[in-house]
């Protein structure tokens, strides 16, 4: 399919008795994709299969239409990875480490490329420091820098923000957005920090128990998981509340500061909008605000993994 960079088909992985991945079918398109799921849901195992580190028990995984196990050399030349427990050699300086990675990746413009990542991740002032002497956050920035070195087509980040302070996190998110826009680098990012992830992701995959329970464009999921809650402000909220409560299709009306939060029964959203406009007209009210409250990524996540006996 046009724009597809990752595809898995009935992918499964067992470790002895443990089934880490079961019948996983995911498709990752160009852009920035978030991979989320509770601890142990199989995100890291999926990533390790995609980059050819572990062999699937059954099923297939493709990156750039290449077989993740049989053609992993070809894949690895075109991607960058930040591992969950990324190894960094403590006795190397940042500069020497990046030079080493550049050599492994057989990059051509080594000097300019290293200069670029050092500045991208604000590491210039530290480049002569030994990695062992760095704080956890700085080490994480070094790990990020190596993953985008050479501007690969796809960068896979497993928990990239866990050690970062709030400012470094914001700056990482900005970098990801910019690298995607200006350098056309695609990202697959696994993270538990959903409010952050939702700011950068175009697409989302939700894993639970080794399988994908939901996936697609974040905007579409927001509509799909819409719970029928509207925020409304009118010229007479008291009167409007009374009228709305008389409609059989409104479950609840809550007053919140100067606005109303109205929960409409599922399946009656269009009917509700028509009734609301009729009330407004017949009672001579002014409608000052009318806005559907879409769920955020956390709401969608909780809803998608419901029924799976989680938490
Ligand atoms: N090498 C291994 N040997 C045995 N079991 C494993 C191995 N690797 C992973 N598992 C198991 O597979 C399941 C999925 O683990 P995985 O690390 O992929 O989850 P995850 O979604 O990345 O979790 P987290 O959010 O905690 O990083 C877990 O039950 C884990 O214990
Ligand atoms: Mg993991």
Q: How far is the CA of 156 from the centre of ligand 1 (A)?
A: 17
Instruction: Compute the Cα dihedral for 45, 46, 49, 51 and give only its sign.
Output: negative
Left, alpha or beta for 71 (phi > 0: left; psi -120 to 50: alpha)? alpha
Q: What percent of the chain has pLDDT over 90?
A: 90
The pLDDT-based confidence of 307 (bands split at 50, 70, 90) is low
What is the tens place of the pLDDT at every residue in 30-57?
999 999 999 999 999 999 999 999 999 9
Residue whose CA is closest, atom 1 of ligand 1? 15
Q: Please say whether the dihedral angle defined by the alpha carbons of residues 118, 120, 122 and 125, taken in this order, is positive or negative.
A: positive
Residue ranges of the chain assigned to CATH 3.40.50.300: 4-223
Structure confidence by residue, pLDDT tens digits, 85-127: 889 999 999 999 999 999 999 999 999 999 999 999 999 999 9
CATH for 4-223 is 3.40.50.300
pLDDT at 161: 87
Residues of the chain with CATH 3.30.70.100: 227-293
Residues above pLDDT 70, as percent of the chain: 98
Q: What ligand 1 atom has the least distance to the C-alpha of 16?
A: 4
What whole-number distance in Å separates Cα of residue 44 and Cα of residue 245?
49
Which tokens is 21 given? 């991945």
Counting from 1 in the atom list of ligand 1, the atom nearest the Cα of 84 is 27
How far is residue 85's CA from residue 53's CA, in Å, rounded to a whole number? Answer: 14
Q: Is the CB of 309 under 6 A from ligand 1?
A: no
- What pTM value is reported for the model? 0.91
HEC assignment per residue over the chain: CCCEEEEEEEEEEEECCEEEEEEECCEEECCEEEEECCCCCCHHHHHHHHCCCCCCCEEEEEECCEECCCCHHHHHHCEEEECCCCCCCCCCEHHHHHHHHHHHCCCCCHHHHHHHHHHHCCCHHHCCCEHHHCCHHHHHHHHHHHHHCCCCCEEEEECCCCCCCHHHHHHHHHHHHHHHHHHCCEEEEECCCHHHHHHHCCEEEEEECCEEEEEEEHHHHHHHCCCCEEEEEECCHHHHHHHHHHCCCEEEEEEECCEEEEEECCCCHHHHHHHHHHHHHHCCCCEEEEEECCCCHHHHHHHHCCCCCCC
Q: How far is the centre of ligand 2, averaged over its atoms, from the C-alpha of 43 (Å)? A: 5
Distance 302 CA to ligand 2 centre (A): 19
227-293 is classed CATH 1.10.3720.10: no
| Structure confidence at residue 146 as a pLDDT band (50, 70, 90) | very high
């Amino acid at each position: 399919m046009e724009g597809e960079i990752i595809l898995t088909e009935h992918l499964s992985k067992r470790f002895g008795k443990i089934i880490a991945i079961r019948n996983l079918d995911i498709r990752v398109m160009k852009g920035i994709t978030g991979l989320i799921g509770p601890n142990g849901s199989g995100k890291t195992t999926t990533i390790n299969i995609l980059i050819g580190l572990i062999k699937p028990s059954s099923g297939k995984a493709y990156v750039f239409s290449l077989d993740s196990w049989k053609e992993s050399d070809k894949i690895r030349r075109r991607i960058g990875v930040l591992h969950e427990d990324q190894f960094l050699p403590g006795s190397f300086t940042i500069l020497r480490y990046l030079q080493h990675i550049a050599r492994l990746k057989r990059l051509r413009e080594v000097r300019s490329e290293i200069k670029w990542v050092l500045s991208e991740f604000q590491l210039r002032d530290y480049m002569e420091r030994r990695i062992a002497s760095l704080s956890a956050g700085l080490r994480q920035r070094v790990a990020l820098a190596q993953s985008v070195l050479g501007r690969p087509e796809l960068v896979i980040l497993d928990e990239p923000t866990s050690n970062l302070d709030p400012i470094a996190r914001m700056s990482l998110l900005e970098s990801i957005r910019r690298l995607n826009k200006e350098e056309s680098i695609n990202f697959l990012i696994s993270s538990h920090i959903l409010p952050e992830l939702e700011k950068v992701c175009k697409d989302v995959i939700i894993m639970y128990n080794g399988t994908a329970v939901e996936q697609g464009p974040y905007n579409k999921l927001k509509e799909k998981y819409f719970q029928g809650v509207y925020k409304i402000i009118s010229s007479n909220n008291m009167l409007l509340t009374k009228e709305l409560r008389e409609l059989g299709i409104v479950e609840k009306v809550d007053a919140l500061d100067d606005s109303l939060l109205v929960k409409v029964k599922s399946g009656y959203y269009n009917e509700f909008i028509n009734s609301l406009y009729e009330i407004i007209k017949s009672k001579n009210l002014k409608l000052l605000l009318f806005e559907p409250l879409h769920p955020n990524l956390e709401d969608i996540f909780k809803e998608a993994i419901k029924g799976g006996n989680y938490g």
